[in-house]
């Protein structure tokens, strides 16, 4: 019995330490940091741009710049330590006549990419909660 406790105690310690460390990581780190967030952003934008049903607001948009700014913004909003260098959402989306349908298409594309990168439900929900209030500044039609 004592021998079994000696074997189990270190394993429990490792598990508890790992749990504590995971809870101290920022959402940005839990999403996978710069490499994963960049891939998620690029693929999300690609999904929407490739969909003729909802891509009207991306005509004449510098997609490389857009990807960079979205990565910055997500990094900034999720504790990654970045500073977002873009304009506010209301200014950026003014005159684009973005509909709720287009907005939700972007949300679904983001969800699909988060799933494809095996992002956990907790992290997915945290990110979506952070981004959701932007709807009022993005949807203009």
**What average pLDDT score do residues 112-117 get?**
97
pLDDT digits (tens, 9 = 90+) for 3-46: 655 665 665 555 544 545 556 899 999 999 999 999 999 999 99
pLDDT digits (tens, 9 = 90+) for 41-63: 999 999 999 999 888 888 888 99
The residues spanned by each domain of the chain are: 26-138
Q: Which of 40, 86, 43 is nearest to 65 (CA)?
A: 86
Residues 6+ apart with CB under 8 A from 103: 135, 138, 139
For the four alpha carbons of 74, 76, 77 and 78, in that order, the dihedral sign comes to: positive
The pLDDT score that the predictor gives to residue 14 is 55
Architecture of domain 26-138: Orthogonal Bundle (1.10)
The pLDDT score that the predictor gives to residue 105 is 93
């Amino acid at each position: 019995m004592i021998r079994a406790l000696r074997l189990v105690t270190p394993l429990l310690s490792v598990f508890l330490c790992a749990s504590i460390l995971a809870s101290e990581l920022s959402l940005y780190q839990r999403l996978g940091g710069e490499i994963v967030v960049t891939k998620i952003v690029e693929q999300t934008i690609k999904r929407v741009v490739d969909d003729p049903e909802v891509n009207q607001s991306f005509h004449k948009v510098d997609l490389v710049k857009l990807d960079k700014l979205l990565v910055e913004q997500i990094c900034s909003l999720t504790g990654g330590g970045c500073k977002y260098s873009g304009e506010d959402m209301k200014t950026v989306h003014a005159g684009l006549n973005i509909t709720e349908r287009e907005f939700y298409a972007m949300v679904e594309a983001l969800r699909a990419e988060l799933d494809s990168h095996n992002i956990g439900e907790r992290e997915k929900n945290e990110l979506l909660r952070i981004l959701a209030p932007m709807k009022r500044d993005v949807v203009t039609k």
